[in-house]
């Protein structure tokens, strides 16, 4: 194992991100697993913490296989894994229906996790998008595109572990990628953690509660 748990991974990532502390950073976690990683970074960088509510769009009959991802917004940002869509013969109607289901789940999570919490300001700041690891990259890609649309001064993807080909593919979506390890025989994110337990909504909400909301965060 490379990491004891997500908190340790976050502390190690924070060290690698230290140069951004003076660039008015804002840390944006992909829930749920990214939240405990991002919290450690936000503390170390004295930065506000917020969420990027993105959802993988699972393939028909294979929900763990990402044929894309979607991030809430007006309009929502959708990233497609065209190779998966074409290989499985997924129709536009099937894709749209699956996307709509994930948008419904995003709306539920926004109510449950954020309530009336105000978004952190991103425009003109160094936006650091954080997850606990990246496999196919569909969710990270959608999240980066959504945050790019909010006009940060710099866009950084920070992850403890990732598949090397995915990191290469995502390089066009971010100004910088900070990844602690990209082993050639990747496998799955959970392989690299001693403790990779599921993070529940209540834990994400508790993490957010430790940080002021967007209107009160350090400018």
**Domain ranges, ordered by start, for the chain:** 6-54+115-209, 56-113
As to burial, measured by CB atoms within 10 angstroms (0-12 exposed, 13-18 middle, 19+ buried), residue 86 is exposed
pLDDT band at 196 (very low <50, low <70, confident <90, very high): very high
pLDDT band at 214 (very low <50, low <70, confident <90, very high): low
Average pLDDT over residues 87-104: 94
- Report whether 146 contacts 71 (CB < 8 A): yes
| % of residues, the chain, pLDDT over 90 | 74
Q: Determine if the pTM surpasses 0.85.
A: yes
CATH architecture of 6-54+115-209: 3-Layer(aba) Sandwich (3.40)
Q: What is the pLDDT of residue 139?
A: 87
| % of residues, the chain, pLDDT over 70 | 97
Cα–Cα distance between 115 and 55 in angstroms, integer? 18
Mean pLDDT, the chain, rounded, equals 92
Determine the 3-state secondary structure of 36 from DSSP.
Answer: helix
């Amino acid at each position: 194992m490379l990491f004891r748990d997500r908190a340790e991974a976050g502390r190690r990532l924070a060290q690698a991100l230290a140069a951004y502390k003076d660039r008015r950073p804002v840390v944006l976690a992909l829930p749920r697993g990214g939240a405990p990683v991002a919290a450690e970074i936000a503390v170390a960088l004295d930065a506000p913490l917020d969420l990027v509510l993105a959802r993988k769009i699972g393939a028909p009959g294979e929900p763990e296989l990402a044929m894309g991802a979607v991030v809430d917004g007006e309009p929502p940002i959708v990233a497609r894994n065209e190779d998966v869509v074409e290989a499985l013969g997924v129709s536009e109607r099937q894709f749209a229906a699956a996307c709509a289901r994930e948008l419904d789940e995003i709306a539920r999570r926004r109510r449950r996790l954020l309530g009336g919490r105000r978004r952190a300001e991103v425009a003109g700041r160094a936006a650091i998008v954080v997850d606990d690891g990246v496999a196919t990259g569909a969710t990270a890609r959608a999240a980066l595109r959504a945050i790019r649309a909010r006009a940060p001064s710099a866009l950084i993807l920070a992850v403890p572990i990732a598949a090397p080909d995915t990191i290469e593919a995502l390089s066009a979506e971010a100004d910088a990628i900070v990844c602690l390890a990209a082993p050639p025989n990747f496998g799955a994110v959970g392989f690299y953690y001693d403790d990779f337990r599921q993070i529940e909504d209540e834990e994400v909400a508790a993490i957010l509660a430790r940080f002021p909301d967007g209107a009160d965060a350090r400018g």
